[in-house]
């Protein structure tokens, strides 16, 4: 099912007209850049001489940044601490024109901060400061109340689950039920240990390791890929599953359809950080712009190709997506059934 140039033009022109709510684990991604010229005399480890640093939105906040870059309005809903990182997060959101009005503060938690130390394009080490316990009842009620306050204004919901405690089974069931009543598209970027909770959603976007773990079978061949994709979709009663496969691209599974396999668009891979965020954001934005599921998957694959070619949580604009898609049409590299 190839996608024609005129259809690409139509869909990318329609991007950026929706309000999309992002619910999940909000993070800050800190990068420390430097060079390694010696080994420490204290231990057999490299000494990184830091020359610059950068602070980026991560997790659900990065999904929101992707949505904003595509032109849609992101409504970011999640929980942060009352700490220095939450202040930096609010400032960064403001600079990206993303509202923080739906954020819930919880002084029993710290805002998730992931620090990556980079030497050139190589990550030397990552250290995390975070909590992973589930929300208390009061905080969860606040999150659900904020969700209900905007449900009539949104076109889609993205659930970004990194297993940090925000996406509990009870909250997920309430959100999915409300969205079903309103016929709102719900997409989930899953945590593999929570798969049994993601039922009756519109889209799930696991990577091939997560999908294999959830189904109970490791994916080592195309036959196993098809068994896992179709079986997992049926088990969860999901409308669709998009399995991301790294260098092998993506595979889309839908009811009463043959799988659609899309080769990778990436020409170079510097950093896979945030690639899953880009995939789900671009897919959902494309659906809101009128794309069919297989068309949205192709556009999302283009977004992933842009992201992994940059260091940090980069993402694509409609213009970049259009160029990437046209280039891959020219190269005959869009769909492989």
Residue 248 burial (CB count, 10 A): 15
pLDDT, position 314: 45
Q: Which of 25, 72, 106, 277 is catalytic?
A: 277
Cα separation of 95 and 231, whole Å?
43
- In this prediction, the residues of the chain whose per-residue pLDDT falls under 70 are 1-2, 265-274, 308-315, 329-337
Q: Report angle CA 51, 269, 22 to the nearest 5 degrees.
A: 85
**Which residues, including other chains, have CB under 8 Å from residue 10's CB and lie 6 or more apart?**
290
Does the CA dihedral 324-325-328-334 come out positive or negative? positive
Alpha carbon of 114 to those of 97, 220, 280: distances in Å?
22, 31, 21
Q: What is the pTM of this model?
A: 0.90
Asked whether the beta carbons of 291 and 299 are under 8 A apart, the reply is: yes
Q: Is 277 a catalytic residue?
A: yes
**Which residues, including other chains, have CB under 8 Å from residue 269's CB and lie 6 or more apart?**
247, 308, 309
- Closest to 264 measured CA to CA, from 307, 228, 229: 307
Cite the beta strand spans of 120-220 per DSSP E. Answer: 122-129, 156-160, 185-189, 203-204
Give the pLDDT confidence of 130-149 residue by residue, as tens digits.
999 999 999 999 999 999 99
**Which tokens sit at 225?**
């890929």
pLDDT, position 184: 98
> What are the structural domains of the chain?
5-26+70-80+132-330 (3.40.1190.20)
**For the chain, what is the total number of helices (H) and then of strands (E)?**
10, 13
Q: What are phi and psi of 260, to 5 degrees?
A: -110, 120
Nearest 10 degrees: CA dihedral of 134, 27, 269, 66? 110
- Closest to 307 measured CA to CA, from 261, 260, 268: 268
pLDDT, position 304: 84
Mean pLDDT of the chain: 90
**Which tokens sit at 188?**
């989930």
pLDDT, position 309: 52
**Which residues, including other chains, have CB under 8 Å from residue 312's CB and lie 6 or more apart?**
29, 31, 54, 56, 271, 273, 274
């Amino acid at each position: 099912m190839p996608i024609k140039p005129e259809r690409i033009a139509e869909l990318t022109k329609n991007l950026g007209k929706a309000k999309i709510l992002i619910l999940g684990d909000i993070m800050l991604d800190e990068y420390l850049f430097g060079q390694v010229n010696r080994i420490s005399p204290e231990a057999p480890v490299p000494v990184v001489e830091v020359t610059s640093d950068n602070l980026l939105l991560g997790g659900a906040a990065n999904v929101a940044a992707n949505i904003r870059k595509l032109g849609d309005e992101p409504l970011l809903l999640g929980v942060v601490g009352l700490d220095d990182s939450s202040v930096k997060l609010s400032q960064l959101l403001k600079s990206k024109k993303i509202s923080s009005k739906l954020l819930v503060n919880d002084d029993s938690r710290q805002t998730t901060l992931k620090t990556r130390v980079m030497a050139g394009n190589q990550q030397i080490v990552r250290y995390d400061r975070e909590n992973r316990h589930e929300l208390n009842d009061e905080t969860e009620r606040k999150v659900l109340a904020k969700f209900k306050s905007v449900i009539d204004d949104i076109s889609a919901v993205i659930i970004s689950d990194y297993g940090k405690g925000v996406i509990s089974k009870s909250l997920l069931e309430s959100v999915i039920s409300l969205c079903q009543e309103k016929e709102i598209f719900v997409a989930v970027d899953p945590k593999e240990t929570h798969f049994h909770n993601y039922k009756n959603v519109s889209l799930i976007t696991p990577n091939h390791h997560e999908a294999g773990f959830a189904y109970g079978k490791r994916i080592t061949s195309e036959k196993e890929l098809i068994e896992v994709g179709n079986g997992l979709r049926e088990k969860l009663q999901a409308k669709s599953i998009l399995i991301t496969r790294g260098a092998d691209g993506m595979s889309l599974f839908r009811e009463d359809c043959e799988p659609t396999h899309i080769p990778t668009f990436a020409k170079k891979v510097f950093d896979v950080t945030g690639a899953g965020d880009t995939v789900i954001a671009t897919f959902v934005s494309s659906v809101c712009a009128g794309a069919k599921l297989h068309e949205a998957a192709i556009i999302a694959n283009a977004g992933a190709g842009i992201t992994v070619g940059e260091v940090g949580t980069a993402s694509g604009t409609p213009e970049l997506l259009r160029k990437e898609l046209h280039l891959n049409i020219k190269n005959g590299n869009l769909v492989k059934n």
